[in-house]
Chain A
């Protein structure tokens, strides 16, 4: 036994990490799927119910409205991240790539919120947007837009956009740096040739840079998608476990958290005896939405390597 191990020293190196990783990362994934096929409160006996939880999730009106509402919010966040944050990231990355005066300072400042915990970011948001102590309303009054003064954090119709805004402010720097890294990989000759041909500042961005970094942009979109689909912190911090007034801040992760770990009885259905079963069911549905995108990415990178 010892001899066989001596011949395979790698087993010594791999085993500890392998065990911990298998137990806390790989096993839970499969276990979650099996739990989703059972009716279980987390304590006491588990009973196998097949796909009943999935059927209930889609048939029970209470659950289904919450699911679609939460999913809608995730998709709004993704759409805004794609439509607004991505162009902003490209713009910022391009100015930094061009070595704008003070670009080191700018890139650090833009990236910095990444290092601030979401709790503090929400608090900073409160300092700006709160009805009583917020600066934003004071500024509006000061420039004469008194009609626009309102409790920004308290109005359901703005809720999900504020969640998005805070998350975007916190996360914009990472994608920006990815893009800067990709832009720097473009051969200098291409840029020089474009300049000699008389291509202007924006022309160079659209005809040379963007086509060359499209793989990075595509990967960034996938990451953004996963990030948008799993967003949790800001909704929870602003709206609590209930997801704000009328679920105005609700997202999939929060819906999941409410069902699996929240207090019983506020949602109805069979939750009091099925928190874990239904919770994992929601988590699996959530994962399916992510999987679709991950497979798409695999497919495209596979096709790309075929072409090349």
Chain B
């Protein structure tokens, strides 16, 4: 890349203010989560009287928040595992083998990218209800696991471009199709699978619309839904809203900054293809 140093004071200043603003709000929120509720409401911007871990202790012992974390983790882990398994198998089937309908089949799997979630949600809701899976994590997991369009596309491209030699030599050694896939092809796709995992995790973790419709009872809710309850009654729960928002946000951002170079490269490359 060709770069020229230009006098960047103005640009740099603008970006700096913008970035600082985001950082400031995060720090402000984190700092406030250590202040007692009375102090927060009556003395919002004043000098803190004392800092305390009370809110966090309350959050983990006296509220349903641990359930929200558990719910979010269960949903994330299982739906991600299913997505990776199903999409890599489908992509391998389409990318590796030659058969008449493969182009049409790929298009069929890409169709899902075109439709807004609102369009199908009523029939999905009815299926889930008729299976008795409303208000269960399983229902949400199944629906998420079906959203494999994007992973199938990325992985099919990968498997198509993979040289056939490895496959042929494994075949000659007498390995079964499943074994070839499981112990040779799947591991080779791990860089692609890694970036799929990152993209999908963020999406699943922050999803709001689906859980809102499917999960009603308090102990089944996910973190975003749970926090909503606290942020809607700020007079009563401003302290808990702060602490739960911090827990929902700071660890993830920390992980993002650790891997940011790789993640952002992936995003930038994805845009060029799209």
Contacts and interface: CB of A to CB of B under 8 A. Distances in A.
Contact of A184 (B205, B223, B227, B268): B268
A13 B156 CA distance: 12
A124 B248 CA distance: 13
Contact of B122 (A32, A174, A226): A32
A275 B123 CA distance: 13
A108 B260 contact: yes
**Majority DSSP secondary structure for residues of A touching B:** helix
A179 B272 CA distance: 8
A279 B127 contact: no
A112 B126 contact: no
A283 interface: yes
B265 to A, nearest CB: 8
8 contacts: A8-B97, A17-B87, A20-B142, A28-B123, A98-B6, A116-B206, A132-B44, A135-B28
Interface stretch (B47-55, B56-64, B106-114): B106-114
A236 B225 CA distance: 12
Nearest to B227: A119
A280 B122 contact: yes
A120 B227 contact: yes
Contacts of B112: 21, 25-26
A110 B120 contact: no
Given A99-B3, A100-B15, A184-B268, A13 B181 contact: yes
Interface string A230-251: 1011001100000000000000
Contacts of A174: 267
A232 B32 CA distance: 29
A177 B264 CA distance: 7
A143 to B, nearest CB: 14
Interface in B79-114: 86-87, 89-90, 92-94, 96-97, 99, 105, 108-109, 111-112, 114
Interface of A: 8-14, 16-18, 20-21, 23-29, 31-32, 35, 42, 92, 95, 97-102, 104-120, 122-124, 126-128, 130, 132-133, 135, 138, 174-175, 177-182, 184-185, 188, 191-192, 195, 201, 216, 219-220, 223, 226, 229-230, 232-233, 236-237, 253, 256-257, 260-261, 276, 279-280, 283-284, 286-287, 290-291, 294
B29 A23 contact: no
Contact of B202 (A114, A191, A260): A114
B4 A119 contact: no
Contacts, number: 283
B224 A119 contact: yes
Given A24-B120, A280-B122, 8 more contacts: A26-B108, A97-B1, A109-B23, A119-B224, A119-B225, A130-B234, A178-B267, A286-B116
A180 B12 contact: no
Nearest to A28: B120
Contacts of A180: 268
From A8, A115, A177, name the one whose CB has the most chain B CB atoms within 10 angstroms. Answer: A115
Given A179-B271, A284-B119, A126 B178 contact: no
A22 to B, nearest CB: 8
A108 B245 CA distance: 20
B145 to A, nearest CB: 6
Given A122-B231, A128-B25, A135-B28, A226 B89 contact: no
Contacts of B181: 13
B74 to A, nearest CB: 17
Contact of A111 (B111, B115, B143, B264): B264
B178 A12 contact: yes
